[in-house]
Copies of this chain bind each other. A is one copy, B any other.
Amino acid sequence: MKRTLFLLFCGLISLMASAQEAASPNGNVRLKFYLDGTRPAYELAYKGREVIKPSRLGLELARDKHASKGLEETDLMDGFGIVDYKTSTFDETWKPVWGETATIRNHYNELAVTLKQQSTGRNIIVRFRVYDDGMGFRYEFPQQDNLNYFIIKEERSEFAMNGDHTAWWLPGDYDTQEQETQQSRLSEIRGRFDKAVNWGNSSVAIFSPTGVQTSLQMKSDDGLYINIHEAACADYATMHLELVDAHTKQLTTELKGNSNVYTPAPQPSAYPLPAPMTFVSHLTPDATGLKGCMQTPCSTPWRTVMVSDDARDMLSSNLILNLNEPCAIDDTSWIHPTKYCGVWWEMIVGKSSWNYTDDFPSVQLDKTDYTKTKRNGRHAANTEKVKQYIDFAAANGLDQVLVEGWNIGWEDWVNMWKRDVFDFVTPYPDFDIKALNDYAHSKGVRLMMHHETSSSTQNYEHHLTEAYKLMNRYGYDAVKTGYVGDIIPRGDHHYSQSMNNHYLHVLKEAAKHRIMVNAHEATRPTGLCRTYPNLVGNESARGTEYEAFGGSRPDHTCILPFTRLQGGPMDYTPGILETQLKNWSDNPNIVHTTLVGQLALYVTMYSPLQMAADLPENYAKYMDAFQFIRDVACDWDDSRYLEAEPADYITVARKAKGTDNWFIGGKCDENGHKSNIRLDFLDEGRKYECTIYADAKDAHYEHNPKAYVITKKTVKKGDVLKLTEAPGGGFAISLFAK
């Protein structure tokens, strides 16, 4: 024993003097770890160019009576020496249950540094994995006498930028990520922050005028694309980033929200400010203002930095999936890609209602008698209408029909601090759940369940088992969940550790019942869909619904794949072919794309779950264009990003799973775009029937959105397609192998 200690001590001396380095397999990405005094620090470079300048790592802990064995909760910020480091290489190819490609290669070099805090004797490990397109690191806390349980006051991981990059950012918020993305220099964030907040959202809780969300996409003046996010966030609070800029006096001192739930003001840090243009991690608090309850052995999620000089690498990267654990579900045979339509858009637009009646000032589930009231005439989830949607789905090869508003409780469902909002099992009197499921199944279609929780998680957890049993009984195998409004229990936030645990609890319970989950307003994804592939979709961003609430900028869908989609697929609900809502409703808004732009989204916005979100009667007007939605796949053997620039354009070709057919999508911003697509990826010597859905020459998302041209021809490998995308437009191409 004595000898080991002596060796450790010798090692310590020598290790403290030198930095440890790790390079990616191809050498392009280089990571350096060292101690800055006694604080852990790192730097990152790409092809010899600085990506992350010297940045420190550490966590501040809360002082709590429940500290390990009576020890004070000393911060894990400084006082460290290096006691050990290990390097290793990993190279494995795995098959996702669904995805953009049939296989994914996970190839990295690893550096694991064991640090000892001399004053407390505590050990922690900082583990880096360096990929050709970036790196991830996490803190690991081995089980040890002096560190059994602890509470995180704040994680202080720094990401020091080497310039005033252009960033595509959302205001950091504990409850929503449905804002419009801002594009600005880092130094401009503070000045634009207030206007960037979506004050109209049902929950807003911002914490700093330079707080931003991840995934944060940036571009340096010298053309490096840099993306900061996280991977495998489980049993931990979601991370935000707070930018230290020229005006920052201390971290995390401000907090505003339109929720007047009391949120304790975050405490200033006792540690010195990093240099300006440094991002510092900021976790989502619980109701008491603290950030995480930890039990060793445990680790933080991976903090990820993706980097390339080619924007397309940002989109094709699998770094975040690779940093997640392998699939934890043994039998995944019941998990399948799904194309669906649903009783939804007509409520979003305001023509129909989720609620059954307008007669009740409020509802108490155990007392309100719906059979004694009258229908409001606008309740969409009724047997007759749902049958029409089932017929439409069956006629057009759609797998499922989502029905929102089928269950009692919608009369006063949100933001009343009402716990028992829904029971998730009782249909409205005009929704015949048995007959409709039977009817759907007779036509080869399934209904998709809807569980809006209105963020009353206690209530949802009470009813979860019975609700899933009901789904099993009637043959539902997918549920869209919703978390609109402030969280109950009061004081908690959508992105806290406990809420992240809730979402995971739901996912695991659903898996027991062989149910796929598509969670809306839940936490932003961090690749957990690798481990739990029944998480087939998330919203967690500004979806198509906002087009009915006032609109999203045309470049919105040219940003999302760089940001929100890094962590997992989004149920964006595209396919609004009648982009002028006034043509069939009282809603004056327009969708900010051309009709063809809507088709393109099925390819550019990767998801195994794709909705045809418009109404059957609107599709009836454009059946030739709708053919693309009928044809397009939503699971893929291969994907090739052909062109990409954040907020400008994205062009991608994908090979449909288990076939030789390809689909190509191009989407652009308000400036239009010209694409030359060389069909290099097609099979040699094979012919393809090619259908091109293109914007007409005079198409424009505002003035002339529904002008399109459909062209058919036969193509082969090497052919070039020249396409012009209208402002706010795009194109969609199907290539069927002959």
Contacts and interface: CB of A to CB of B under 8 A. Distances in A.
Contact of A417 (B66, B258, B417): B66
Interface string A505-518: 10000000000000
A143 B122 CA distance: 59
A64 B260 contact: yes
Interface string A266-296: 0000000000000000000011111001011
A361 B146 CA distance: 10
A359 to B, nearest CB: 12
A89 interface: no
Interface residues of A, number: 47
Interface of A: 62-66, 143-145, 148-149, 151, 258-264, 286-290, 293, 295-296, 361-362, 364, 412, 415-419, 458, 461-462, 465, 486, 489-492, 498, 501, 505
Contacts of A458: 461, 498
Contacts of A490: 286-288, 290, 293, 498
A362 B148 contact: yes
Contact of A491 (B64, B151, B286): B286
Contacts of A261: 288
A490 B264 CA distance: 13
Nearest to A293: B417
Nearest 3 A-B pairs (CB), nearest first?
A: A287-B287, A293-B417, A287-B491
12 contacts: A66-B417, A66-B486, A144-B361, A149-B417, A149-B418, A286-B490, A288-B490, A288-B491, A290-B490, A296-B362, A489-B498, A491-B491
A149 B414 CA distance: 12
Given A259-B65, A260-B64, A490-B293, A148 B412 contact: yes
B419 A501 contact: yes
A430 to B, nearest CB: 24
Contacts of A287: 287-288, 489-492
A262 B262 CA distance: 12
A361 B260 CA distance: 41
Contact of A492 (B296, B489, B505): B489
A295 B491 contact: no
Given A287-B287, A288-B490, A293-B490, 15 more contacts: A64-B417, A65-B258, A65-B259, A145-B361, A148-B362, A149-B412, A151-B417, A264-B264, A287-B490, A287-B492, A296-B362, A458-B498, A461-B461, A489-B498, A490-B498
Contacts of A65: 258-260, 415
Contacts of A418: 149, 293, 295
Contacts of A364: 295
Contacts of A295: 362, 364, 416, 418
A486 B143 CA distance: 23
A419 B361 contact: no
A361 B151 CA distance: 17
Contacts of A501: 419
Contacts of A145: 361
A475 B505 CA distance: 29
B264 A290 contact: no
A518 to B, nearest CB: 22
Given A288-B262, A491-B491, A66 B149 contact: no
A163 to B, nearest CB: 39
Contacts of A461: 458, 461-462
Contacts of A151: 417
A263 B288 CA distance: 7
Contacts of A258: 65
A262 B66 CA distance: 14
A155 to B, nearest CB: 17
A63 to B, nearest CB: 7
